[in-house]
A and B are shown apart, each in its own frame.
Chain A
Amino acid sequence: MSVQISAYIEDDIKERMERYSAANGLKKGFLIQNALDYYLNALHEIPSHMIVPSHMTVDDKTFNALLNSKAKPNNKLKKLLQDD
């Protein structure tokens, strides 16, 4: 079911929409409906900068260094962990 909506938009957006509509032979209602649909869906997508990759790769030298990391806790770390 289609319904009619009314909204104020910036005049430059209206001009761009009319140019695109005329150039591509698309009805303005179709453009507006698709733009809203894209926008509302985009709000539910997680942008890439918010995603945490589940795997990290390092070169073998670094991996070896991490594997052999046997650093004793320094005093600040001990104090932080033991201070309750």
Chain B
Amino acid sequence: MIEIRLLQKEDNTSSFDCKESNLNLFLKQYAKQNQFKHYIGTTYVAVSDNKIIGYVSVSSSSIRGDELGELIVKKLPQYPLPILRLTRLAVDKAYQQKGIGKTLLKWVLKLTFKQKEQFGCFGLVVDAKAESVGFYEQYGFESFSIQSGALDVRPYAQSMFLSTKTIEVGVG
């Protein structure tokens, strides 16, 4: 039985290993700081037999146009639109290829919908590693380029978008 819940202060993150050092380091060293000290991001964990087998981190964010183009800017809102940003998703190497990532994504999609209901959310933006782009594309996420506000990670993450409207219709 897999439970998805908020990361807790007392959670043991030390044994988590998804084979990617940056994603391991984030969970072990920074996820709790972000959530409990700085309040700049939230991490949800997939737990099985009291062991963290996967996690996903999200932050509220916003997106806006650069207002520099000569497009029909009048039609565009002149204010940033609220979004939910999925910044990291990882599954322990012993549990990969078992649908844990899909379950975590589903959790975030529903979280996007809840955020829309509670205080507004235009869509979900994912910062995807190159090798994960296909995973998100299969659910309808579309790649787009950003001018500023990218994660400071190497190699660069690909920004991908799915509108809340699409999620809403999908929920049925």
Seen from chain A, the residues whose Cβ lies within 8 Å of a Cβ on chain B are 44, 46, 48-67, 69-74, 76-78, 80-82
A53's nearest neighbour on chain B, judged by CB, is: B149
Whether A63 and B76, one on each chain, are in contact in the complex, defined by CB atoms closer than 8 angstroms, is yes
Contact A52 to B69, CB < 8 A, known contacts A57-B149, A63-B76 = no
**Shortest distance between the CB of B88 and any CB in chain A (Å):** 9
Q: Is the CB of A69 within 8 A of B142?
A: yes
Interface hit among B7-15, B90-98, B150-158: B150-158
A72 to B172, CA, bound (A): 12
Distance, CA A56 to CA B125, complexed state (A): 10
Please list 20 pairs of residues, one from A and one from B, whose beta carbons are closer than 8 Å in the complex, sorted by A's number. Answer: A52-B59, A52-B85, A53-B149, A56-B148, A57-B147, A60-B68, A60-B71, A62-B65, A66-B144, A67-B77, A69-B163, A70-B163, A71-B163, A74-B138, A77-B140, A77-B166, A78-B170, A80-B109, A80-B139, A82-B172
Interface residues of B (CB under 8 A from A): 22, 26, 30, 33-34, 38, 40-41, 59-69, 71-73, 75-77, 80-81, 83, 85, 87, 102, 105-106, 109-110, 122-123, 125, 138-140, 142, 144-154, 159, 161-163, 165-167, 169-172
Task: Give chain A residues whose Cβ lies under 8 Å from the Cβ of B59.
Answer: 52, 54
Say yes or no: A52 contacts B40, CB within 8 Å.
yes
